[in-house]
Amino acid sequence: MAVHFISSESVSEGHPDKLADQISDGVLDACLAVDPTSRVAVETAVKSNLVLVAGELTTRARPDISGIIAETIERIGYTDAAFEDSFACAPGNLQILTALVRQSPDIAQGVDGEGLDEQGAGDQGMMYGYACNETPELMPVSIAMAHRLTLGTTQARRTGLIRGLRPDSKSMVTIGYEDGRPRAVSTVVISVQHDPDVDIENELRAALMQHVVLPALPPDLDGDKVRFLVNPTGKFVRGGAFADAGVTGRKIIVDTYGGVGRHGGGAFSGKDPSKVDRSAAYAMRWVAKHVVASGAAARCEVQIAYAIGVAQPVSIMVETFGTENADPNKIAKVISELFDLRPAAIVRDLDLRRPIYGKTAKYGHFGRQDPDFTWEQTPRATAMASALGLS
C-alpha cells in the first residue's frame, strides 16, 4: 500500500498579498468596464499606509486609482477604528504612489493584430492546467478544503457568527493518500486575526472549530484522527499590511492547485486577457477539466507554451498519470480538434474581455461555481467522450 501526504494552503481576502491582488484586478476591471480592448499589466505593493500601483495601461478608461484602493480596503473590512493598532492602511490615511505608463510599443506590435492568426501571445512562457476527480468541482481536495476554511472565517466575521474576528486569516490542509486516492484528513491548520480582547483558549478556538473547521471536513474522507492546530501561536492581533508587506502575484499556488499541479510561474492578477499568463492558464484548466469531466482520465495536467507575438502554441503536453481511459495520444489529438488555443480564440471562447476579475483575486481562480468563470464550464465534455469512444 503506497501512502503519501499532500498539503495545500489558502489565505483570506484580508491577507496583504490578496489585498494587493484585489487592487490590481480592481484597476483591470475599471478599465475593461469602459474599454474591453484595454491592455493592462498592473502590480500593487502595500505596506502599512503606503500603496504603490505600478505598471502599464493602454486604455480609453481613466481609472480612479485612489477610489479603487479605498473601495477595496473598505469592502475587505479594514475600516473600523479598532484596527488602528493593527492596520494603518485605511481610507483617509493612505499614501498612494502611482507609476503607470502606456504598454511598450515593442510588445504591442505582437498583440495588436485583428485576426486570430495576427494576434500573438503577449509574452513567452508556459502555462499549466490541472483537474482531478477528487471533488465535485474537479479540484484537489486539499486546496478545495483550504479555501473553504478561509472563506468560512470571512463569512463568520461578516455575519457576526464569531465575535471579534478580523480580515486576515490563513489555512493549511494535509491529506493522506493511499494508492493515489485521498483517504483521510491528516492535519488542519487555521490562523485567524482577532480583536485584542478575545479569549483565545476558551472562546475563539472552540467557535472556529464549531462553525468553520468541522463543517469544512469532507464527509467522504476519514476524519477520526485529524490533528487540529487553531491559532497555534496564540495571539494574532496585528495583521494585514501592518504586520506584513503585500505584493501582487505572490500567492500563485494558492490561486491555482495548492501545489498539486505544476505552475508555469506567471501570476494572474492585474493582467488583461491578452497576457497568456492569465488567459492560457484559464484555458488549460478548461481543457484539463474537460478531460476529467468526459471520463477520459481521473487526473489530467496540460501544459502549453507560447512565443511572444506568435499565435500558434509552441507546444502542448497532456499528462494523465496512468489514470486514462483512452489512448493518451488520442486524447491529445481530440483536444487539438475541439479547442482553438490561439490567444485571440481563447479570449473569444471564454469571453474574457469582461470586468469579472476582482472576484477571482480571492479564494482561488479555479474550482468556483460562478457563471462568470467560463473556464470552469465543460460544454464540450460530451463531444470529447464521443470522439474518444467513451460512454
Residue 250 known to be catalytic:
yes
Residue 18 known to be catalytic:
yes
- 279-308 mean pLDDT: 97
Instruction: Say whether pLDDT at 359 is over 60.
Output: yes
Residue 277 known to be catalytic:
yes
- 185-206 mean pLDDT: 93
Greatest alpha-carbon pair distance for the chain in Å reads 64
Distances (CA, A) of 237 to 136, 158, 234, 354: 36, 17, 10, 38
Q: What is the pLDDT of residue 270?
A: 98
CA distance 151 to 306: 35
Residue 290 known to be catalytic:
no
Q: How many residues does the structure list for the chain? A: 391
The conformation of residue 202, written as its DSSP 8-state character, comes to: I
Instruction: Say whether pLDDT at 81 is over 70.
Output: no
Residue 366 known to be catalytic:
no
Q: What is the pLDDT of residue 23?
A: 98
Catalytic site residue from 112, 195, 203, 244: 244
Residue 225 known to be catalytic:
no
- Binning pLDDT at 50, 70 and 90, where does residue 317 land? very high
Q: Which of 118-122, 176-180, 239-243 shows the lowest per-residue confidence on average (mean pLDDT)?
A: 118-122
CA distance 246 to 44: 8
CA distance 258 to 273: 23
Q: What is the pLDDT of residue 91?
A: 60
Q: What is the pLDDT of residue 1?
A: 64
Catalytic site residue from 83, 87, 236, 373: 236
Residue 137 known to be catalytic:
no
List Cβ neighbours of 367 (8 Å cut-off, separation of 6 or more).
Answer: 135, 137, 138, 139, 143, 144, 147, 376
Query: Residues of 23-61 as b/e, b for ≥16 C-beta within 10 angstroms?
Result: bbbbbbbbbbeebbebbbbbbbbbbbbebbbbbbbbbee
Output the nine-digit C-alpha cell for 7: 498539503
The conformation of residue 113, written as its DSSP 8-state character, comes to: -
- Binning pLDDT at 50, 70 and 90, where does residue 120 land? confident
Residue 170 known to be catalytic:
yes
Residue 236 known to be catalytic:
yes
Among residues of the chain, what percentage have pLDDT more than 90?
81
Give residue-wise pLDDT tens across range 83-116.
655 455 666 678 999 999 986 665 555 566 566 7
Give residue-wise pLDDT tens across range 148-165.
999 999 999 999 999 999
